Amino acid sequence: MRGLFTPITKIRRQVFTEVARYAYERDLDENDFNYFYESSYRIIPGEVATYRDSVFKERAIIRERIRLALGLPIRPSGTHKPLTEGMADCATSEKKLELPLVNVIPFACEACPTDRIQVSDNCRKCLAHPCTTVCPVNAVSIGKNAAKIDQEKCIKCGRCITACPYQAILRFGRPCAQACGADAIGSDELGRARIDQTKCVSCGLCIVSCPFAAIADKSEIFQLITAIRSGHTVFAAIAPSFVGQFGPLATPGKVVAGIKALGISRVIEVGWGADVGSLHEAEEFLRDVPETKPFLGTSCCPSWAVFARKAQPSLSHCIAKTHTPMVASARKIKEEHPSARVVFIGPCVAKKLEALDDEVRPFVDYVITFEELMGLFSARQIELSDLEEVDLNSQASKDGRNYAVAGGVADAVINAIHARDKNIQVPVLKADTLQDCRKMLALAKAGKTDGHLLEGMACPGGCVGGPGTLSQIPRATRAVKAFAEASPYATANDNTMEQLTPKIVLPHP
């Protein structure tokens, strides 16, 4: 549903806008959290339900989404807790995000079937009815108007689906579970979706796959805005997939201008952190494969890296030790300006998980998605197309910017390897969903990827398909590739360290 403006998109954006507006307008010395009681009435006005069977249920769901947008946990459904519980603790510029990041709002979940085979209206009640013939457990029979399936008997073999000449039999499941390549979504005692946090890698694909907006992740927009308003110098490190996310008139320079209009001092291109990563992973491959590691798995996608370590722990040492582009960029900023705050802006929920890691926490203060950024623009009534262009002061190579699309990371690393030795042949395997990553890891476990470079991505199409994106994947892919072509540098090796990490000068106070 990414790239389509659905009622779910509208609701999410309204929630982010409400939280951001209050964060910008509140008195920093006083907090009136009754604002958020009223927010649910602004988002869901009147007495007639718009989306569900009850306007009161709609508002209750909005209130839990507001809590998550503040970085707070959702409240248990069976006991009373005030909406404002914990809000005072979140009214700070300090990082407050805690696990779990991705949450199911139980009473928003419609308890979709987990796996069901069902006859549709396309059934013609044909004379042959091969569906009954092929069923090994006699679960299919012919009713008065159509075939019918006894769900108690059905073993989900799918033979009836294949045999039906009218394609009248469908198999479907829970959208969130089908999107979860980590098999982390099960059911609670009422049949509603429940996330197994021991398996979850925070890829966030369940969030954008749920048609009932029952799943949401926590946000740091309130703490980010509080840092800006408290006088902290804030740098934004923006992922290359930002191009094309905010409409055809929002050029990269206008997006940068919009971010600075929010009160952020400087916008840095994360793509040059990708160039650092390409050089490091090339060095790691040349040094370790195959002498100490049978293969090297890329490390820029935290969901893939965490999933690989959970799914095949015996192969975890084969995932590159290189920091992700987000971390490389943030480290450089902190080296030059230790007191500055750094916010990563990207397409990814898993970056929020990465930023909670003890090694990463000192460098990345906040992580927000493009969708959350749009909420900030809305709160400040910033129309990007009306702004003057502002140049990105740091530049990445073509390869660094292409990290955002599937296959781009492997290509960048191979180009960095060939800059050292053109004669080395590097076989590659690529996967851009966790389901395909699982298959790729199975091949690795079987010893069929020795000497390979393995590129893993959790999201379809790569980062351009992340859960925090706003644009359709093909359109975003074209925009990123055009942005990459505009770089003056072809590869990470062309982008010298001096050019790669230009001196960042703070504006005069």
CATH number for the region 115-173 comes to 3.30.70.20
Mean pLDDT of 157-172: 97
Read off the pLDDT of residues 385-432 as tens digits, 9 standing for 90 and up. 999 999 886 689 999 999 999 999 999 999 999 999 999 999 999 999
pLDDT, tens digit (0-9, with 9 covering 90-100), for 364-397 = 999 999 999 999 999 999 999 999 999 886 689 9
The alpha-carbon radius of gyration of the chain (Å, integer) is: 25
Q: What is the pLDDT of residue 3?
A: 74
With contact defined as beta carbons under 8 Å apart, do 405 and 151 qualify? Answer: no
How many residues in the chain? 509
Which amino acid is residue 305, in one-letter code? A
How many whole angstroms separate alpha carbon 166 and alpha carbon 173?
21
Q: What HEC string does 306-356 produce? A: HHHHHHCHHHHHHECCCCCHHHHHHHHHHHHCCCCEEEEEECCCHHHHHCC
**pLDDT tier at 502, thresholds 50, 70, 90:** very low
Identical fold for domains 7-111+180-222 and 115-173, yes or no, is yes
Neighbours of 364 (CB within 10 A): 27
Question: Which tens digits make up the pLDDT trace of 284-312?
Answer: 999 999 999 999 999 999 999 999 999 99
User: Residue 288: exposed, middle, or buried by beta-carbon count in 10 A (0-12, 13-18, 19+)?
Assistant: middle
The answer to whether residue 363 scores a pLDDT higher than 90 is yes
- In this structure, which topology does domain 7-111+180-222 adopt according to CATH? Alpha-Beta Plaits (3.30.70)
- pTM for the model stands at 0.94
> Which pLDDT score is estimated for 33?
92
Domain ranges in the chain are: 7-111+180-222, 115-173, 233-500
- Residue 501, pLDDT above cutoff 60: no
Give the DSSP letter of residue 407: T
Q: Which CATH number fits domain 233-500: 3.40.950.10, 3.40.50.2300, 3.40.50.720, 2.130.10.10?
A: 3.40.950.10
**In the prediction, which pLDDT does 506 show?**
41
Q: How many Cβ atoms from other residues are within 10 Å of residue 474's Cβ?
A: 11
What pLDDT, in 10s, does the model give residues 24-59? 999 998 888 999 999 999 999 999 999 999 999 999
pLDDT of residue 287: 96
Cα distance between residue 416 and residue 278, in whole Å: 6
